[in-house]
Amino acid sequence: MTEKDLNTYIQQIPKAELHLHIEGTLEPELIFKLAERNKVKLKYKSINDLSKAYNFSNLQSFLDIYYEGTSVLITEEDFYDLTWAYLEKRYSENVIHSEIFFDPQTHTDRGISFKTVINGISKALHDGQKKLSLSSKLIMCFLRHLDEESAFKTLDQSIPFKDKIIGIGLDSSELGNPPSKFVNVFKKATSLGYLPVAHAGEEGPPAYIWEAIDKLKVLRIDHGVRAIEDKRLLEELIKRKIPLTVCPLSNIKLKVFKTMNEHNLKKLMDVGVMVTVNSDDPSYFGGYINENYLEVSKAFNLEKKDIYKLAKNSFEASFLSSSEKQKMIELLDNFCNKIVTVVD
Ligand code: ADE
Ligand code: ZN
């Protein structure tokens, strides 16, 4: 496949994204625009200055800048504009379904109400469905560097908006904050009907992935690339059909792997783990979902059938109903059949 063919195929193939932090789509241009609108003083003098700081040594060095960026988000309109910008981008990349993380505590701890955050995001998602036919779901993440009590408070705040939120997640600084710290709040949230996922095995050891599946009973693992170090864990992920939402460019930017050639995505696929490709925090990591597909395709010489498999996994691993999954996979199959016919 020529590079042009590969680009076109990735661009046009219908796909879902299951690991995307809405705050991680905040582009430097929008940070400066919102800072001006809200009279927020930034540490950086220019867009260029800020972009230059996106040189990370690990997860924590990224999180420090990422949390600072969110300080410009104040009003419902800001959260709407942030989300709408992502939806327009997604539309151009043919991401027909997306399960979007948001971090309520990052905002409520700055005095912004839960209602402001969720209403701004949800209104944009509603318009995205109406105007662009984009399907979306929202997952509320608890910040794992904070205590479980704060997560419980956030869970309580979410209850009036429960119809807008499909699941709960766990993110932020992984090392030293194992999933077991949040067993009680996950138990309560799942009893209320929230579907559980958690970041695990990004920087943390396989033991954290075990905790996420056995103690938090998660339905997907976000990242999970360190599962490769534990053969029994790999077998368990395969047996229980627990998908991994892998974020290749994020892993390179945060130095989980030195180069894309050293990434283990293809190995995980080859042993039979259900792997999906995602962008995590695209405005910070140098690419949205299509760049992630493109970089792994180039690094591992992926063929169309591999890319198809990744796209199909993205729907199968989603929280869509089985009839919605079926419809989207049909769209995917129609696209692939058309491509084959044209080539023939
Ligand atoms: N929050 C935003 N991006 C994250 C990541 N890659 N890992 C943990 N927490 C995050
Ligand atoms: Zn993430």
Q: List pLDDT tens digits, range 215-235.
A: 999 999 999 999 999 999 999
Nearest to 12 by CA among 325, 313, 311, 323: 311
What value does the mean pLDDT take over residues 109-138? 98
Pocket test for ligand 1, best of 19, 171, 222, 285 (most atoms within 8 A of CB): 171
What gap in Å lies between CA 216 and CA 163, rounded to an integer? 22
Do residues 305 and 297 make contact, with C-beta atoms less than 8 angstroms apart? no
Q: 71 — phi, psi (to 5°)? A: -65, -15
Confidence category of residue 172, pLDDT binned at 50, 70, 90: very high
Confidence category of residue 341, pLDDT binned at 50, 70, 90: low
Distance 341 CA to ligand 1 centre (A): 41
Distance 100 CA to ligand 1 centre (A): 13
Task: Give the number of whichever ligand sits closest to the CA of residue 20.
Answer: 2
What gap in Å lies between CA 270 and CA 184, rounded to an integer? 36
Confidence (pTM)? 0.97
Tokens of 168: 């709960």
Q: List pLDDT tens digits, range 39-56.
A: 999 999 999 999 999 999
Nearest to 171 by CA among 214, 212, 194, 141: 141
pLDDT at residue 33 tops 80? yes
Pocket test for ligand 1, best of 65, 199, 250, 256 (most atoms within 8 A of CB): 199
Question: 202 an active-site residue?
Answer: yes
Task: Give the number of whichever ligand sits closest to the CA of residue 24.
Answer: 1
Question: What's the CATH number for 3-339?
Answer: 3.20.20.140
Task: Give the number of whichever ligand sits closest to the CA of residue 103.
Answer: 1
Confidence category of residue 151, pLDDT binned at 50, 70, 90: very high
Which listed residue (99, 202, 203, 211) is catalytic?
Answer: 202
pLDDT at residue 343 tops 90? no
What value does the mean pLDDT take over residues 275-281? 98
Which atom of ligand 1 approaches the CA of 281 most closely?
A: 3
Pocket test for ligand 1, best of 21, 61, 283 (most atoms within 8 A of CB): 21
Residues bordering ligand 2, an ion, CB closer than 5 Å: 280
Q: What proportion of the chain, given as a percentage, has pLDDT over 70? A: 99
Confidence category of residue 338, pLDDT binned at 50, 70, 90: confident
Average pLDDT, the chain: 97
